[in-house]
A and B are shown apart, each in its own frame.
Chain A
């Protein structure tokens, strides 16, 4: 079965420092991969997505992620964190018909909460 693991429940970084949030997935074929951000009391917003092609994808708000098939990873990075980046970040993989799912059926990790200290 498809699954997504985010090993870090909570990360604290200093403002201006670099950030890397880890995501590992389990999937039998080339996955569709996503990163979402959820600010407190808000819904989720898509940061970036990977479907195929270039393994380094750029997203909004200065984020990027790299798909590494050999490591089954899709880690999210940002070179310099801003205080407004404090939020919860979710990695997700798209289920497909091969697993009885449908497009739009996303499997989410449990999230990584990011705190930013001044």
Chain B
């Protein structure tokens, strides 16, 4: 859905570099979710943020990964010192409120390739 904008669509990084993935939620949405899709796998929850707060980061790897959703601007998923295993599609979704957990649309994703 064009409403949730992710960029870049494709990102190539060498091992050891940093990757920054951006997600602009739909207008009026203040809840953002990041998911990762490894090849041949379903999506795996990483983190749930509201403006300026991390609500649930139970799916985030403990090291090298961080996420933020500042008061102004997009949400950022940051991966430091990338490794080949970080190659995946990263999807972002947003909601206006958290009612019963349904998420209508995910963005088109950022496909990260680590070489």
**Which A positions have Cβ atoms within 8 angstroms of B?**
4, 32, 34, 36, 41-46, 49, 51, 90, 92, 94-96, 100-111
- Contact assessment for A44 and B45 in the assembled complex, using a CB-CB cutoff below 8 Å: no
- Contact among B4, B40, B100 for A32, CB-based, below 8 A: B100
- Contact assessment for B101 and A32 in the assembled complex, using a CB-CB cutoff below 8 Å: yes
Not counting A36-B106, A106-B101, a sample of 9 additional A-B residue pairs whose C-beta atoms are within 8 angstroms of each other reads A46-B102, A49-B102, A101-B45, A101-B56, A102-B55, A102-B58, A103-B98, A104-B56, A107-B45
Secondary structure type dominating chain B contacts: loop
Chosen A-B contacts, 12 in total, with CB atoms closer than 8 Å, are A43-B4, A43-B105, A90-B43, A94-B101, A96-B101, A100-B58, A102-B98, A104-B31, A104-B101, A104-B103, A105-B33, A106-B101
Secondary structure type dominating chain A contacts: loop
- Contact assessment for A104 and B91 in the assembled complex, using a CB-CB cutoff below 8 Å: no
Given A104-B31, A105-B58, A105-B59, do A42 and B108 touch, yes or no (CB 8 Å)?
yes
- Contact assessment for B95 and A101 in the assembled complex, using a CB-CB cutoff below 8 Å: no
CA gap between A54 and B65 in the complex, in Å: 41
- Contact assessment for A90 and B42 in the assembled complex, using a CB-CB cutoff below 8 Å: yes
